[in-house]
Structure 1
Amino acid sequence: MTEHHVLGLSGGKDSAALAIYMRQNFPELKIRYFFTDTGKELPEVYEFLAKLEGFLGQKIEYINGDRDFDFWLRQYNNFLPSAQTRWCTRQLKLTPFKKWIKPWLDQGDKVYSYVAIRADEDHRQGLVSQHKNLEVILPFREHGIDKPGVYDLLESSGIGLPAYYEWRSRSGCTFCFFQQKIEWARLKERHPEAFEDAKAYEKTAMDSGSPFTWTRGESLSDLEKPERLAQIYKDYELRKQRAINRKPINPLRPQRIDTIDIDDLYLEDEGAGACLICHK
């Protein structure tokens, strides 16, 4: 039985840290690193992946599905994906991965898939294997590596954080519906063309009767109004300062402001949640 070892990269910090960890601790494993490209990623994601390739000393395999986002949007009658109907994750991430490994499984090979779920994420689960020869492995959970441990791996390797973590908490599509409103506001500031594309998708969806907008409770046209943007920035800074004031100090890991990130500041009605395979 031939064995295949694969590790999916999202362009985010956790999966990159896992790739670093596996390279450092299990160099004997011939791991194939892959990225499922939706075609709607931030340019900073590709820059980060190129940097990671240099550390790993091998190419990251880009898996592109047979159909892009625009094709699937038409198939779903221009209804936007949402937390309730995550067709984007299914069609643009999971299906291409399953097609990629299918020939191996069909010929009786064993596939080990390494997933970056941390030791401090008891609430998360990886892809549930639906094939007896596909085994999902969670090295961070097995070896007790938590979020600060991920930061340590990225810093000590010289890779650091992706540049978009300065203003955004996740990789994935520029118009991910799990973004907070502050992330939409910053997308407009940093990548106005991507914001305009998202607005156009939203307008088409609304004209087609879609019940969803990209962000809960308001359209991007309403969100981008100057007075609304000012309120979003003000509310975020207040939440961030409250989180900093509440954060306990660990004597073994001195408090660092950079660990108070957007991902720590979710509101229940504002972008809470995530698609594991997209942003980890």
Structure 2
Amino acid sequence: MTKHVVSVSGGKDSTATLLIALDRCPPGSVVPIFCDTGNEHQAVHDYLAYLEQALDIQIHRLKADFTEQVMAKRRFIARDVRIGRDDKGRKVRWTNKAKRRALAVMHPSGNPFLDLCMIKTRFPSSAAQFCTGELKRDPAVEFQLALVDAGYRVISWQGIRRDESINRRKKRKFERIGPRMRAFRPIIDWSAEQVFAFAKAKGIEPNPLYRAGMGRVGCMPCINCSKADLRQIAVRFPDHIERIAEWEGIVSACSKRGSSTFFPPGTDAHAAQDVREVFAALGIRNRVEWSKTTRGGKQFDLLQVLDEPSTCSSVYGLCE
């Protein structure tokens, strides 16, 4: 017997993929799953509930638990006497002061994203995107392997499109990923416009975050979010900026150097040696101010500053 496991994120691509699976697969064989990273907007969870009601389905919520790993990291820090090197080759060691600072805040929070960052003592980046692997891929693979162990053949439906990024241009539409496991990407050659049009034809509304100016739906903010997305988040959902600022303080306390920012240094990287200056220059609140500027980050974009939080600003032309 085959189980068709559809990874649903609450975004446009996974929604279209789910609709295709429900159309093509036998009743009862489609198993939608959602991997909760702990960094989503409430609108994502509300949209999943909407899909469940509109499509008469159940979406299985998966959530990584790093409680044991956080406690193991605490023990490691308490006992560590090694001298390491930072990204500039300078020697860095756990001083007693740094250990006390880290151990004061490093406790399991129950939030997968925050707990993972405390363990890593840093935030993910495009070069080290461990959030995707450990918060989304691993729980999904574990769920599917359990189905294989139970005797099922698994088809993993993935809402991936080639025009999303260079890394996805060579993705196959169908491939073997393991014993009794296959991956199927039905919208691999679709455009974003086709995805929205397909859902509309099925009577399914898009996630409301798209009308709030978001180019992508999922983590809020995502470490890869655009300047425009960050600006819209700051205008419409300032509580998410404040949450990230709080997380920056916690993760900074967990690191040897005492500083870690959600967004890594870009072309405007601060050259200061003092971690307090680095944090002030690259922290989330400073990045929000940068998001309000024109290209080059030198002047404020007055037209963007005048954006009204209640107006539709869809980058996909969804405003009526």
Give the TM interval when normalised to the shorter protein.
0.7 to 0.9
Cα pair distance change 1:29/1:139, threshold 3 Å: farther
Distance, in Å, in 1 between the alignment partners of 2:176 and 2:241 is 36
Partner of residue 234, structure 1 = 301
| Aligned partner of residue 7 in structure 1, secondary structure | strand
- With over 3 angstroms needed to count, the CA separation of the structure-2 counterparts of 1:73 and 1:203, relative to structure 1, is same
* 1:234 Cα offset (Å): 3.3
Pair 1:105–1:115, CA change in 2 (3 A): same
Matched, 1:154 2:199: yes
Q: How many residues align?
A: 237
In structure 1, what is the Cα distance between the partners aligned to 2:217 and 2:142? 23
Q: 1:134: Cα distance to partner? A: 1.0
Match of 1:220 among 263, 284, 305: 284
What residue is the counterpart of 1:64 in the other structure?
63
Q: For residue 17 of structure 1, what is the amino acid of its counterpart?
A: A
| Corresponding position: 1:74 with 2:131 | no
Please tell me whether the aligned partners of residues 179 and 215 of structure 1 are also in contact (alpha carbons under 8 angstroms): no
- Bigger drift between 132-141 and 104-113 goes to 104-113
Normalising by structure 1, report the TM-score.
0.73
Change (3 A) 1:75 1:119: closer
Per-residue deviation, 1:55: 2.7
TM superposition shift of 1:178: 0.6
| One-letter code aligned to 1:62 | R
Q: In 1, Cα distance between the equivalents of 2:193 and 2:185?
A: 17
- Please say if residues 17 and 150 of structure 1, whose CA atoms lie closer than 8 Å, have aligned partners that are also in contact: yes
Consecutive unaligned residues of structure 2, counting only runs of 5 or more, are: 67-111, 267-281, 305-313
Is this contact kept in 1: 2:117–2:251, CA < 8 A?
A: no
Quote the sequence identity (%): 24
> What is the rounded CA distance, in whole Å, between the counterparts of 2:130 and 2:141 in structure 1?
15
Q: CA RMSD in A?
A: 3.0
Change (3 A) 1:235 1:35: farther
1:46 CA displacement: 1.3
Asked if residue 163 in structure 1 is aligned to residue 208 in structure 2, the reply is yes
Residue 259 of structure 1: aligned partner: 316
Number of the residue aligned with 1:88? 131
Alignment of 1:1-280 (within 5 A): 2-28=1-27, 30-67=29-66, 68-77=112-121, 79-118=122-161, 123=169, 125=171, 130-141=177-188, 145-166=190-211, 167-206=213-252, 208=255, 209=257, 213-214=262-263, 216-217=265-266, 218-225=282-289, 229-231=292-294, 234=301, 259=316
- Return 5+ residue gaps in structure 1 as ranges: 238-256, 262-280
CA shift, 1:147, in A, is: 2.7
Once the two structures are superposed, what CA deviation does each residue of 1:197-233 show, in whole Å capped at 9, x if it has no partner? 11222344456346764265343222334x8625478
Q: CA deviation at 1:27?
A: 4.8
Give the aligned partner of residue 265 of structure 1: none
Q: CA deviation at 1:36?
A: 0.6
> Which whole-Å CA distance do the structure 2 matches of 1:128 and 1:175 have between them?
32
Structure with larger Rg: 2
**Deviation, structure 1 residue 104:** 2.5
One-letter amino acid of the counterpart of residue 113, structure 1: S
* Superposed structure 1 runs of 4+ greater than 6 Å apart: none
Flag the structure with more relative contact order, 1 or 2, with Cα contacts below 8 A and sequence separation at least 6: 1
Could you report, residue by residue, the CA deviation over 1:131-181 in whole angstroms, capped at 9, with x for unpaired residues? 22110012224xx64332211112112222211112111122213111012
> Normalization by structure 2: what TM-score?
0.65
Q: Which amino acid aligns with 1:187?
A: I
Shift of residue 191, structure 1, vs aligned partner: 1.4
Q: Are the structure 2 counterparts of residues 190 and 228 from structure 1 closer, same or farther at C-alpha, using a change threshold of 3 Å?
A: closer
Write the distance in 2 (CA, Å) between the matches of 1:163 and 1:215.
29
Mapped contact 1:10–1:172 kept (Cα < 8 A):
yes
